[in-house]
Amino acid sequence: MSAYIFIGPEQGKKQEAVNKIKTQFKSAQQAEEYVLYADETSAAEIIETLQNQGLFAEARIVIVKNAEAIKKKEDVEKIVSWTLSSDNSSALILLSDEIKLAAEFDKAKVNKQVFYELSENEKISWVRDFFKHEGFSIDGDSIDTILEMVENNTDALKRECSLLVNFLPKGKPVNSEDIEKWLSHNREESPFTLFSRIAAGDLARSLESMSIMLAAKKKASEIMASLAWCFRRLSDYLMLAESGGANNYAELKKIGLSSPKTKSDCIAAARRYDSDAVEACLALTAQYDILMRSPSADLESVLMDRYILAIVNAGN
């Protein structure tokens, strides 16, 4: 099989699947690797990249991100046709955070997998096993705090938990106070400290937070992905508040708001953003994510300043 569709919001397992294909393909033959974005690359360009043979490689691996953007029937048909006629000398991997692509892709000769978000029990087990492997014992409250402050995918969990073990004291059980301290207060700037400042409507400190992260070589796309996650959780809180459940601990825990810090950030943000404003912020995030991959991306700091200004101004 030389064509794959890997979709869904679970980033870590999806990336593991991509890495496995890359390793298998490259071990069988010398291959060049290309990463394209469907929202800025035509289907014809994707096929041309797959078919062009290089001077120093026998084959090509072409990874196409944001594959949900391939919607036109003629574009889908071109890619489906390639999968049906492929001689396996090149590999195509279509990636998307969505859980389905255009229906016509069902006709393609592909290996398709959907990577859903981890269930509550899977997330708890993942965090507990990670800390156990690193030589730490961790209680349920501490696990809950991590899950409320880190995006719900194993890629983000691994990144943040790997940082945590460098700060937490060895030889004593992990507690939620230490977790919250290092994730939100005394550690480097993060998308979550940025969201706190956006929630408070503090434009100057929001811009400063973004500037510090970019200077530390954090990827703008990852920052925006985490902010989008924060706004989606705010949307859940607004719906809960509308139904009268804003003070129900069990309901707050279900949407990841049982720790004082995450709850206070959402309460502050809810004073400034209604449901329409949240949708506007999510749309702005998608818009600037595309802009960051355009030729003007050399002006990263300028674009991100404009993004933060627009996000903060979207509040009441």
Does residue 174 sit in the same domain as residue 303?
Answer: yes
Write a three-state SS string for the chain: CCEEEEECCCHHHHHHHHHHHHHHHHHHCCEEEEEEECCCCCHHHHHHHHHCCCCCCCEEEEEEECHHHCCCHHHHHHHHHHHHHCCCCCEEEEEECCCCCCHHHHHCCCEEEECCCCCHHHHHHHHHHHHHHCCCCECHHHHHHHHHHCCCCHHHHHHHHHHHHHHCCCCCCECHHHHHHHHHHCCCCCHHHHHHHHHCCCHHHHHHHHHHHHHCCCCHHHHHHHHHHHHHHHHHHHHHHHCCCCCCHHHHHHCCCCCHHHHHHHHHHHHHCCHHHHHHHHHHHHHHHHHCCCHHHHHHHHHHHHHHHHHHHCCC
Q: Are residues 160 and 234 in the same domain?
A: yes
Q: Are residues 128 and 249 in the same domain?
A: yes
Which CATH number does the domain housing residue 264 bear? 1.20.272.10
Final residue of a structural domain among 99, 114, 129: 114
**Final residue of a domain: which of 85, 114, 143?**
114
Do both 221 and 246 map to the same domain?
yes
221: containing domain: 121-313
**Structure confidence by residue, pLDDT tens digits, 131-165:** 988 888 888 888 888 887 787 788 888 888 887 88
Same structural domain for residues 288 and 187? Answer: yes
Q: Bigger pLDDT: 293 or 11? A: 11
- 137 lies in the same domain as 272: yes
Give the CATH number for residue 8: 3.40.50.300
- Counting the structural domains of the chain, the total is 2
pTM score above 0.75: no
User: Tens of pLDDT along 8-34?
Assistant: 888 888 989 999 888 887 665 667 888
